[in-house]
Amino acid sequence: MRLIDRQFWKGKRVFVTGHMGFKGAWLCSLLAHMGAESIGFGQDERERLLYRELTIAGHSHHLGDINDLPSLTAVLSGSRADILFHLAAQPIVLASYADPVGTFETNVMGTVRVLEAARKAPGLKAIVVVTSDKVYRNNEWAWGYREQDALGGADPYSASKAAAEIAAEAMVRSFFAADGAPQVATVRAGNVIGGGDWAEYRLLPDAARAIAAGHPLIVRHPQSTRPWQHVLDPLAGYLMLAQSMAGRRTARRSWNFGPAQGDAMTVREVADLFVTAWGGGAAWTAAPESVDAKHEAATLMIDSSLARRDLGWYPRWQSDEAIQRTAAWYRDRAAGGQASALVERDIIDFFEA
């Protein structure tokens, strides 16, 4: 992987929506490591969040709803930000079945409002809109989807993210085409893992909670195949892309950042690796089949050849190492380790080792 230009990021002011989420907390920590200042905007009422356990240098926090356009516009315009990362979302497939209206409102109209606020923000050079690998119309192919493949979605979450991609493209073509306008791109990553994700209905957070409580992990769909990757891999790609856009070297609007082809693993394989890495008798068992089970894709992979060719990005940690490091993070946190130190340990190992 080409090195991220630390001189570029040193002193940069970076606006991050969804900074209280798992991925946002890691992003703000990474920006601090690179010497940037981050301005977070968002809200998250979940009881346990990695963000609340971290001390992030050069970071300021604004509590707000991205669908509150006047508030968002005022904070973003006043932030004097150079770069904008839009991560705020309702990110859980199963949760989207319980609240489809809220999912579409946050994921589609929230994205539109962020880009509308960005139109009025002076000084912005690059905007990275984070969507999902689930934006693709899933035909259960055995090969990875490329950026030009058809969008779709069989559940409210996937459809909302595909719709956010379409809305973002319309906003870009309509309002960000003039000379001097910020460059805008959407980015799509696979099943992102790493320490400190406490969301429900996700395999490794469920595993960490169950094992720490002395219970076996209950696994849905053991044969499903996913592109597992450590959170630092796509985040590194997002920073490299923002760098390139700010320097007007990149104009493409959609990018995949996923594991190498052939590195996808089944849920069963992931569960086996995780409990082995945790040790101490950790175990898992398959959930009984349910006639009421909601649809979840069985096979989904993405092709990141474009990012490899044009940005020099590639996944640094293969899936097995990402899973083992994630298990070690949760195990060490359960043993009393400090979240900030554990995040910094992984960042240093990723970029410095």
Q: Where does the pLDDT of residue 206 fall: very low under 50, low under 70, confident under 90, or very high at 90 and above?
A: very high
Residue 70 above 60 pLDDT? yes
**Residue 184 included in any domain:** yes
Total count of domains within the chain: 1
Q: What is the structure's pLDDT at 2?
A: 55
Structural domain includes residue 78: yes
Longest dimension (CA), the chain: 60
Considering the domain boundaries, does residue 247 fall inside one?
A: yes
pLDDT at 327: 95
pLDDT for 296 = 57
> What pLDDT is stored for residue 1 in this prediction?
47
Predicted confidence (pLDDT) at residue 353 exceeds the cutoff of 80:
no
Q: Which domain holds residue 167?
A: 6-197+230-262+301-319+340-348
112 within domain boundaries:
yes
Average pLDDT, the chain: 92
Q: Is the pLDDT of residue 55 over 90?
A: yes
Under the banding of pLDDT at 50, 70 and 90, the label for residue 200 is confident
Higher pLDDT, 169 or 301: 169
User: Is the residue at 217 inside a domain?
Assistant: no
**Exposure string for 166-182, b = 16+ CB within 10 A, e = fewer:** ebbeebbeeebeeeeeb
Find the CATH number of the domain harbouring 315.
3.40.50.720
As a whole number of angstroms, the distance between CA 185 and CA 242 comes to 9
What per-residue confidence (pLDDT) applies to 29?
98
Q: Does the structure show a pLDDT above 80 at 297?
A: no
> pLDDT tens digit string along 221-236?
898 887 789 999 999 9
Residue 48 falls within a domain, yes or no? Answer: yes
